[in-house]
């Protein structure tokens, strides 16, 4: 099998800054459905087992793309570490949606891609971003959420919020790297200024695409009831629950094994079947 892997493709976004994306596909001579994977909070394209997942999608006949958001804290020189915490602190939902638009525009023009079959797939907070972009961009005809949030209003509350507003920054410890990761108050200001645009519930109701909602019943970061809520909002969606599945479906960073974790493999197979059925 002729699996082609193009890593660290540089993309320029004049609204944000340059960032990297990966493409996995087979040169079959046919135009392939485009699947774009959107990482979540403290995520990045090479985290855990995402590369193995990408290969499985490519082997199944898709043109699979994953990206690092321009302000996710990694750099174009070092996409595997959070080397730019200043950028991380200046991230916001407007920048992520802008980056995702650049990715869609770029890869939909690829000669190997069928631009009438475009699927967004978002994990965790990336699910919320994927939902909004699907509503906004009529080119998207498939939407898959993995452990997705049902709201982007995930900010500190009460006294913690007042402290954030007064200090201009709050820090969250990265459990894996132990870094103190800044969040500047501009993040909330951007949300408040675009509160209707960033309404995940409304976007879910209005999105025209075929939708698959996947969640683990033991998700420790995003409660499974958020998946059930998305399913209610989009009655034609399909809800697929992984019994005892966690937030990353068994994957962790680093992932050193040759195969996907069992739950993530089940998730990947379900996604492949869903796209093949809905985007015939």
Distance, in Å, from the CA atom of 21 to the CA atom of 136, rounded to the nearest integer, reads 22
pLDDT under 50: residue ranges of the chain: none
Show Cβ contacts of residue 146 under 8 Å, excluding neighbours closer than 6 positions. 121, 122, 123, 124, 127, 214, 215, 249, 267
The model's pLDDT over 256-272, given as tens digits with 9 standing for 90+, comes to 999 999 999 999 999 99
At 235 the pLDDT is: 87
Structure token digits, residue 256: 């050193």
At 91 the pLDDT is: 98
At 83 the pLDDT is: 98
- Which pTM does this prediction carry? 0.99
Mention the CATH class of domain 3-152+195-279. Answer: alpha beta
Q: Are strands 210-216 and 140-146 parallel, antiparallel or unpaired?
A: parallel
At 22 the pLDDT is: 99
The model's pLDDT over 171-203, given as tens digits with 9 standing for 90+, comes to 999 999 999 999 999 999 999 999 999 999 999
């Amino acid at each position: 099998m002729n699996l082609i892997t193009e890593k660290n493709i540089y993309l320029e976004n004049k609204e944000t800054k340059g960032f990297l994306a990966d493409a996995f596909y087979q040169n079959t001579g046919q135009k392939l459905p485009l699947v774009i994977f959107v990482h979540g909070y403290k995520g990045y394209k090479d985290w855990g087992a995402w590369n193995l997942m990408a290969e499985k999608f490519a082997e199944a006949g898709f043109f699979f793309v994953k990206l690092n958001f321009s302000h996710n804290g990694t750099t174009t020189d070092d996409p595997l570490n959070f080397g730019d915490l200043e950028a991380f602190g200046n991230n916001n939902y407007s920048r992520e949606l802008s980056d995702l638009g650049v990715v869609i525009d770029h890869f939909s023009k690829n000669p190997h891609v069928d631009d009438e079959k475009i699927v967004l797939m978002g994990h965790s907070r990336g699910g919320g971003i994927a939902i909004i972009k699907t509503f906004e961009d009529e080119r998207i005809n498939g939407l898959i959420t993995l452990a997705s949030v049902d709201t982007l209003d995930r900010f500190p509350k009460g006294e913690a919020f007042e402290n954030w507003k007064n200090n201009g920054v709050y820090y969250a410890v990265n459990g894996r790297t132990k870094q103190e990761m800044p969040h500047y108050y501009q993040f909330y200001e951007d949300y408040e200024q675009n509160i209707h645009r960033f309404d995940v519930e409304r976007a879910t109701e209005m999105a025209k695409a075929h939708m698959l909602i996947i969640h683990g019943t033991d998700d420790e970061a995003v409660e499974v009831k958020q998946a059930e809520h998305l399913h209610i909002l989009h009655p034609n969606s399909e809800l697929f629950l992984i019994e005892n599945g966690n937030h990353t479906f068994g994957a962790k960073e680093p992932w050193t094994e040759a195969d996907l974790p069992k739950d993530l493999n089940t998730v990947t197979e379900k996604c492949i079947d869903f796209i093949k059925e809905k985007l015939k």
